[in-house]
A and B are shown apart, each in its own frame.
Chain A
């Protein structure tokens, strides 16, 4: 992400996957969830579609049977920073690995008409911006990106997607969520500022609901 006089900007080539209900099993298959690391998932993003063979954790991209038809295997999409999806993107499993794989590949923003709830939350914790747009706008963008490879520029502070010099689309996102990306806030630090309130709450709960704390 870079900054200019108008604020934080995500710009880059837009790749797209024209289908609904892309579940997190497609974004990263179960096999790769065996890793105990938080990084290093870039080569496994969309594994089932990106390759023509069955992958294993640790296998190198060079040793795979690449599916040349899949968008992320073709230039300039190999450098994509923005991914365009459709309805219910990231549904299914809670695996945060799905966001880690997008992040590690270099995707900084995902645009779709709706998202799975857990995936949506996970995005903000890893610096990936999910943008919800109306279906009509998604169709319009799909038409645009299907014609030729294009770059969008997303202004985080202004909440705008600049399609070119003339056209832009406004989007909405809760301020507290986008702030997490803009300022890289740490949730645990924020919550632990409320330590006293949590302790007091817990103290009272131990009295009112003792069955929860029976062996403590």
Chain B
């Protein structure tokens, strides 16, 4: 009896080294401009070439300006240092012959958004990228994880990752959630439940009736944030929903695809397989979730009380106090008491078409609140942008007072000009509310696209309807 993770591990296991670690064969390697330059430099110094060129797909996403329009090239980036990094990716991809969806490409986008939508992410693959949110691809039944730059170099050179096996965790989400509750709320709730270190050392398989009933895009939001629960790997067994999704995106010919589908359809955890840890969560009771502090685990119901040092355990007092101070929470007892300045809809967590549709539904025919100085929507990729524009979503956002941008990571981490100013409070659909994450001294509240859209219109959080 094996878990899905066990099976993927065995399927890709090349050999065990003297050290006890294993060499795991990597099917797909995604690259972006931030964590790859030092790896390419290392490769050159050792006089090595990429082991299997076609395994690699690159795109610039972290540094790219989102106000660039069409025909914008890397050397037009105003921030000199950002420019060097994006140009460096162009140079490295050209020099080594790696396929890149460059800044001019209509297929450029956040690496974790473009991989699945362009058909490069397939069920059963091992996928790595120098980015912790690589866990996103687990939503299609992949063993996908973030790696450091030394490992990026190692994968380029050997097509393998040198790793030890993780433990298995099963998380079953059961039931039907309320209409205004999305997969973002559910994953935030789960992180609040087990904490940001709860999944450390584990590969988490998400399952249960809720998972079975949601789209691949919603599943990606959940696997994306597995790392915020401490787990490098989050994964979901491929099912009909997955295969339909892949069929739509795939560039494979019919015969190859059918052969693959036979394999994918049987790729799942055996009945009776033993997990090292298990959780069952009834999602019908979950309310929309919003973070109040500086760690994703600092999350409460949108109408819940913000914790104070008075009502938490002794060893957590200091964490709560530091977070409240940083977030500028004084007498406010509830999240709805906080007044917001900015709204960011985007990031590898929530910038897919389904996210934008949900947000647009809330925004339609309404106007951004006076206290919101800037509300931006950053589609995850050129394809998402095209689709949204075809559906007229850009128009809905623009008419409400949102700014409609070009694809990239944008204000999730503010490596490009999209940043918070000190003390600004932001309703964000991204994944990390760490200090300074969206800009120096900026204050981030994580939430679903629905809640972010509602906050843009209402000026404060509330019950989205």
Residues of A within 8 A of B (CB): 18-21, 23, 25-26, 29-31, 33-38, 48, 54, 57-58, 87-88, 91-97, 99, 114-118, 121-122, 125-126, 174-176, 179, 187-188, 190-192, 194, 197-198, 201-202, 205, 209-216
Contact status A194-B23, CB under 8 Å: yes
User: Known: A38-B38, A94-B132. Is A118-B146 also a contact (CB below 8 A)?
Assistant: yes
Any A CB within 8 A of the CB of B282: no
Find chain B residues with CB under 8 A from A122 CB.
Answer: 148, 150
Contact status A212-B41, CB under 8 Å: no
Any A CB within 8 A of the CB of B252: yes
Report how far A57 CA is from B322 CA in the complex, Å. 27
Contact status A191-B160, CB under 8 Å: yes
Residue of B whose beta carbon sits closest to that of A185:
B19
Find chain A residues with CB under 8 A from B295 CB.
Answer: 21, 23
Interface residues on B, range: 35 or more
Contact status B19-A176, CB under 8 Å: yes
Residue of A whose beta carbon sits closest to that of B415:
A30
Any A CB within 8 A of the CB of B159: yes
Contact status A96-B23, CB under 8 Å: no
Find chain B residues with CB under 8 A from A179 CB.
Answer: 19
Residue of A whose beta carbon sits closest to that of B228:
A92
Any A CB within 8 A of the CB of B17: yes
Find chain A residues with CB under 8 A from B18 CB.
Answer: 176
Find chain A residues with CB under 8 A from B252 CB.
Answer: 211, 214
Cβ 8 A contact of B197, one of A31, A87, A126, A194: A87
Any A CB within 8 A of the CB of B440: yes
Residues of B within 8 A of A (CB): 14-15, 17-21, 23, 25, 27-28, 34-35, 37-38, 41-42, 46, 48, 51-52, 54, 62-63, 79, 81-82, 84-85, 88, 122, 124-125, 130-132, 146-151, 153-154, 157-160, 162, 164, 196-197, 200-201, 227-228, 230-232, 251-252, 256-257, 259-260, 263, 295, 297, 318-319, 322, 413-415, 422, 432, 434-437, 440-441
Which residue among B27, B79, B149, B319 has the maximum number of chain A CB atoms within 10 Å of its CB? Answer: B149
Contact status B147-A118, CB under 8 Å: yes
Residue of A whose beta carbon sits closest to that of B256:
A211
Contact status B34-A92, CB under 8 Å: no
Find chain B residues with CB under 8 A from A114 CB.
Answer: 197, 200
Find chain A residues with CB under 8 A from B81 CB.
Answer: 34-35, 57-58
Contact status A96-B35, CB under 8 Å: yes
The dominant DSSP class at the B interface is loop
Contact status A209-B196, CB under 8 Å: no
Find chain B residues with CB under 8 A from A205 CB.
Answer: 25
Contact status A21-B38, CB under 8 Å: no
Report how far A211 CA is from B261 CA in the complex, Å. 10
Cβ 8 A contact of A30, one of B79, B84, B414, B441: B414
Give, as a whole number of angstroms, the nearest-CB distance from A194 to chain B. Answer: 5
User: Known: A88-B200, A201-B14, A211-B259. Is A188-B414 also a contact (CB below 8 A)?
Assistant: no
User: Known: A117-B230, A194-B17, A198-B160. Is A36-B434 also a contact (CB below 8 A)?
Assistant: no
Find chain A residues with CB under 8 A from B150 CB.
Answer: 96, 122, 125-126, 187
Report how far A112 CA is from B168 CA in the complex, Å. 24
Report how far A175 CA is from B17 CA in the complex, Å. 13
Find chain A residues with CB under 8 A from B79 CB.
Answer: 34
The 8 lowest CB-CB distance pairs between A and B, nearest first, are A176-B19, A36-B37, A96-B148, A54-B440, A88-B197, A122-B148, A125-B150, A94-B146
22 A–B contacts, CB within 8 A, in A order: A19-B322, A23-B434, A34-B79, A37-B38, A54-B422, A87-B197, A88-B196, A91-B200, A92-B228, A96-B130, A117-B200, A174-B164, A176-B18, A176-B19, A188-B46, A194-B17, A198-B14, A198-B158, A201-B25, A211-B257, A212-B125, A214-B256
User: Known: A92-B132, A125-B150, A198-B25. Is A25-B434 also a contact (CB below 8 A)?
Assistant: yes
Give, as a whole number of angstroms, the nearest-CB distance from A85 to chain B. Answer: 12
Give, as a whole number of angstroms, the nearest-CB distance from A166 to chain B. Answer: 28
User: Known: A176-B20, A197-B15. Is A202-B38 also a contact (CB below 8 A)?
Assistant: no
Contact status B162-A187, CB under 8 Å: yes
Find chain A residues with CB under 8 A from B38 CB.
Answer: 36-38, 96
